[in-house]
Structure 1
């Protein structure tokens, strides 16, 4: 009897988590033909990164949910039974729909930024010690001036090479900014969630533009102190920190 009670609990937990996701989909997707779970998935994945992320799993969960509900004998008695790992997974996904992780959770913090009159040798020390490759550059009023990358530095050095010697003693960052290429960089509030950032990268990609970095700040603009930086490499991590 105890085993049956546990199984019924797992089925009930699955159904509750499924309904939580369904409610989120209804709130999120407004242009679907109807409110069926699959229709919301089919319509919403085009504009919502979180739906694209979990779409294939959610299709399978919809099939399992139908089997569970259609085979339900009584209010709290199920014949079809999901595995505990499946229940844990759908509950994790439901939590992400209800409270998406912040972009800050996978961003590089603290962000290494420099003033435009900083010395290049100090940037090189940071590259050597921390392996960072992108550095936002600001003036003293925290107004964004440009992005300096490790590739920019290498190209600049190649052009400066003279008799196998390059003097870096008095070279300032702004000297490289005047000659380097302009990168696509966007700015968001530190409270922005991860899936909104993924959609931002997708928008740039759809316009055939490569977004090199997203900078997180308190007001979400290019004129405030940066709190973190997020690059395309950061998005390769399949799940935010702290999620299974």
Structure 2
């Protein structure tokens, strides 16, 4: 198959996917981009490329002088790139596919020693905290540090080991997480972290459940570092 044929096939897959997003059957491609970018993080990520792809597609399809002749035969790397983007748009990798795993959780009545042991042995720096099945928030290494700082000034009763419920009260940022659905495309997760940084409300963890609801079973967790490793 010629590169131009592969290119048109990939382009048409993107075109069909965006028409489905926009519930349209005849919208021009450039308008489709404007529409689809409001719904799809991959389109937003590759908007510039998609506009350039449209120009090349027009050269291939509209400017040829006969059926077997094309004015522009795309370079192999260009074909690979449009095919890759077509896959990302039509079959996006989800957070559930990449980060579904057993998550270590702690209970509100667990002692601080349990959390400290996990930090030391597992190198974790944050844990979901529950009161039985009810989600309370995240216990972080920084929150424990804040708790310790307060105790150093107030004085800690000898022999008394606090519960994690008490330590959680010292978390300065109690909303540094978000629950997300397991079929969320990975590029949407990337955008959540990026928007958190630019808005000054940094997100430290995305908690994965089936439909992104707090009361559902926790299926996985994503941190900014997980995203960095996944894109290496």
Task: Decide which of 87, 95, 98 is 1:103's aligned counterpart.
Answer: 95
Give the structure 1 partner of residue 127 of structure 2: 135
Task: Decide which of 56, 70, 83 is 1:91's aligned counterpart.
Answer: 83
Q: Is the partner of 1:82 in helix, strand or coil?
A: coil
Deviation at 1:221, TM superposition (A): 2.1
Deviation at 1:30, TM superposition (A): 5.0
Give the structure 1 partner of residue 141 of structure 2: 150
Deviation at 1:195, TM superposition (A): 4.0
Deviation at 1:122, TM superposition (A): 2.5
Q: Is the partner of 1:226 in helix, strand or coil?
A: coil
CA RMSD of aligned residues (A): 3.5
Deviation at 1:43, TM superposition (A): 3.5
The alignment status of 1:177 with 2:168, answered yes or no, reads yes
Distance between the aligned counterparts of 1:172 and 1:108, measured in 2?
29
Q: Which moved more, 1:201-210 or 1:108-117?
A: 201-210
Q: Which moved more, 1:119-128 or 1:152-161?
A: 119-128
Alpha-carbon displacement from aligned partner over 1:80-112 (angstroms, at most 9, x marks no partner) = 111222212211111111111111244373323
Alpha-carbon displacement from aligned partner over 1:219-244 (angstroms, at most 9, x marks no partner) = 532223311112344445684x8xxx
Alpha-carbon displacement from aligned partner over 1:11-50 (angstroms, at most 9, x marks no partner) = 100111001001111111359xx71111221333244322
**Structure 2: 5+ residue stretches without partners:** none
**Structure 1: 5+ residue stretches without partners:** 1-5
Distance between the aligned counterparts of 1:135 and 1:160, measured in 2?
22
TM-score, with structure 2 as normaliser: 0.81
Task: Decide which of 15, 18, 25 is 1:25's aligned counterpart.
Answer: 18
Corresponding pairs, count: 231
Q: Which moved more, 1:52-61 or 1:226-235?
A: 226-235
Distance between the aligned counterparts of 1:205 and 1:29, measured in 2?
30
Change over 3 Å in CA distance of 1:192–1:167 after alignment to 2: farther
TM-score, with structure 1 as normaliser: 0.77
Alpha-carbon displacement from aligned partner over 1:184-238 (angstroms, at most 9, x marks no partner) = 5332332333244456667878987544432112453222331111234444568
Alpha-carbon displacement from aligned partner over 1:41-93 (angstroms, at most 9, x marks no partner) = 13332443221111121122112212222343443543411122221221111
Within 5 A, what are the aligned runs for 1:52-131? 52-107=44-99, 109-131=101-123
